[in-house]
Each structure stands twice: as C-alpha cells, then as structure tokens.
C-alpha cells in the first residue's frame, strides 16, 4: 500500500473522530407531566446534531400546592451556553407556591435527560412541605390582609401616600462587590408575591429577589436581608448543580438554596452524568497518530 493511502486513512480517522465528538444528542419535543409522589420519566426521541447547531434544553414546573409536575425537553437552536436557573414564586395573599427550573447544557449526549432524571429523583415531598411552611411565614411578615393601605414609608423617607404597598428588588451577583437594593412604592391592586430567582452560568452566579409588601418597614434593606437569610435557611432544593468550566469546576451544595461555592482545578465534576465532555482531546489525536505510524511501518 502506498504512503498516500495511509495519509488519507489517517485524515479520515481524525475527521470521523472529530465529527463524532462534536455531535450532541438532545431530546426533542419530549413533554410529560406527573406528581411529586409518582414521578415517571418518559422515553424521549433524540435528535443528533453538531453542538454548533443545537444545545440541549429543559424546563420543569412544580406546583407545591397541588404537587403537579410539568416538564419538557427540546433542543435550543441556535445553541446556548450552559446556564441553570430556578425561580420560586410565593403568593402572599393566597395559598400557592410554584417552582420553575430551566437549563441548557452541551456537555454530553443526553445531558438534558440525565440532568432532569437527577432532579426528579430528589425528595420533593420534603421540599414541598418546606415551601408551603415558608410561604406562611413570608405572608405573616410581609403582608397585612386586613389593612391594605398602611401609608408605609418604603424608600428613604418617601411615603407611599395612598398606594400603600412597597416593592423591593434585591440582587446579589458574584461579579459585583456588593448587593444591589431598590425599594419603591407600587400599586396595591397587584397581587402581592415574593419571587426568588437563582441563576448559574460559566461566567457568574447570583440571585434576584423581588417582592411586594405592606407591613411596616417591610421595604427596608434590613428587612430584605432578613428575608434572604430566611430563604437560604429554610428552603433546600434536593439536587446538586455542577457548572462545567474549561479551567475549573464549580459545584453547589444541596444544604442551602444559596449554594456554597467550591472550586477545583482538576476539571472533573461531582456529577459525571451532568458534566462529561465529549470533545476530542489532544491525547486521542496522539493515539490516532501513533496507530498510523504503526500501520505505516508494518506495511
């Protein structure tokens, strides 16, 4: 056999391997529903495309009041980089708490299904009890149902006059030196609710809390900080989140919904089914080169 044959063979090997490594299998139009006491994960059809064409994407909604779960998996096109968001809404004037989870991943084939299975295997009954108890506590300290216009002072020395309600926005991001706090008057006809969002991606992590309230001094910075601490102490989501990174691995703890961040330089993860890279490594290319040389000298 000629040297040109081996050269072509070698190039084909590298090309085939690279195409395989760049491919990403994601679930498509995979919708399901269930209950936290009886979670059955569906069998999903997958579509295999280049990771430059799609990312795997998932959404999960859990109604803590009814226990109903609604989920869906479908690729994102064009692809999005890794992100993971949770948003919990606590109604203050009525019974009701809802969690929404959204994520994109490109770390491995079927990373969307694997991650969703990991989430659904958690003890959601315990989390449901936590959320319902926490909603009652938040309602008692932020909302006065018998006096909807207390003329409270919300921002610095600004009385809300006849409006009565305060709206608080509290943000804390890993790339800012200190939290951002805003407090303004708002319309009391809007249903009072507290929304807590936590966001994770490869560049930063953070949280946003927004609520409307009408209890005295509920719109102050100290009140907002007390509420954040209450959420962190009393509301645990039953799963881990691993943030894949080229140079480091950042993981979250399940002991608090505001995670304790730990960083290592090994590039490994605590959940290999969430963050396993399928991109071809330099060592794999060396192996192909070595095999080529062996075949060359043998023949």
- Domain containing 159 equals 3-298
| pLDDT tens by residue, 245-262 | 644 333 333 333 333 322
Within a 10 A sphere around the Cβ of 125, how many other Cβ atoms?
Answer: 12
Q: pTM of the prediction?
A: 0.74
pLDDT above 70 coverage of the chain, percent:
67
Per-residue pLDDT of the chain (299 residues; tens, 9 = 90+): 544 444 434 333 334 333 344 689 999 999 999 999 888 888 899 999 998 999 999 999 999 999 999 999 999 999 998 989 999 999 998 899 999 999 999 889 999 999 999 999 889 999 999 999 999 999 999 998 876 655 555 665 566 666 568 889 999 999 999 999 998 888 766 678 999 999 998 888 999 999 998 888 888 899 999 999 999 999 999 988 777 764 433 333 333 333 332 222 233 333 333 332 333 333 344 444 444 444 445 55
Number of domains making up the chain: 1
- Write out the chain in H/E/C secondary structure: CCHHHHHHHHHHHHHHHHHHHHEEEEECCEEEEEECCECCCCCCCEEEEECCCCEEEEEEEEECCCCEEEEEECCECCCCCCEEEEEEEEECCCCCEEEEEEEEECCCCCHHHHHHHHHHCCCHHHHHHHHHHHHHHHHHHHCCCCCCCCCCECCCCCECCCCCEEEEEEEEECCCCCCEEEEEEECCCCCCEEEEEEEEECCCEEEEEEEEECCCCCCCHHHHHHHHHHHHHHCCCCCCCEECCCCCEEECCCCCCCCCCEEECCCCCCCCCCCCCCCCCHHHHHHHHHHHHHHHHHC
| pLDDT tens by residue, 18-39 | 334 468 999 999 999 999 988 8
| pLDDT tens by residue, 269-285 | 333 333 323 333 333 44
Helix, coil or strand: residue 21: helix
């Amino acid at each position: 056999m000629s040297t040109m044959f081996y050269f072509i063979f070698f190039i084909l090997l590298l090309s085939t391997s690279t195409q395989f490594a760049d491919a990403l299998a994601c679930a498509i139009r995979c919708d399901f529903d269930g209950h936290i006491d009886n979670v059955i994960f569906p069998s999903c059809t997958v579509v295999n495309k280049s990771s430059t064409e799609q990312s795997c994407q998932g959404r999960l909604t859990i109604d803590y009041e009814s226990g109903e779960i609604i989920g869906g998996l479908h690729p994102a096109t064009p692809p999005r980089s890794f992100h993971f968001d949770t948003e919990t809404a606590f109604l203050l004037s009525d019974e009701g708490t809802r969690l929404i989870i959204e994520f994109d991943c490109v770390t491995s084939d079927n990373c969307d299904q694997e991650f969703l299975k990991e989430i659904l295997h958690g003890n959601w009954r315990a989390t449901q009890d936590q959320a319902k108890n926490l909603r009652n506590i938040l309602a008692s300290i932020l909302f006065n149902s018998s006096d909807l216009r207390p003329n409270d002072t919300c921002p610095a020395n600004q009385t809300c006059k006849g409006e009565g309600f305060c709206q608080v926005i509290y943000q804390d991001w890993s790339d800012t030196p200190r939290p951002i706090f805003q407090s303004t008057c708002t319309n009391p006809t809007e249903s009072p609710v507290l929304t807590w969002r936590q966001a994770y991606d490869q560049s930063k992590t953070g949280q946003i809390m927004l609520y409307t309230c009408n209890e005295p001094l509920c719109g102050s910075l100290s009140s907002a900080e007390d509420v954040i601490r209450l959420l962190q102490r009393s509301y645990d989501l039953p799963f881990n989140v691993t943030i894949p990174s080229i140079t480091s691995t950042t993981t979250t703890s399940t002991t608090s919904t505001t995670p304790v961040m730990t960083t290592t330089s090994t590039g490994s993860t605590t959940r290999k089914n969430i963050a396993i890279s399928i991109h071809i490594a330099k060592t794999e290319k060396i192996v192909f080169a070595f095999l080529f040389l062996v075949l060359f000298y043998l023949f």
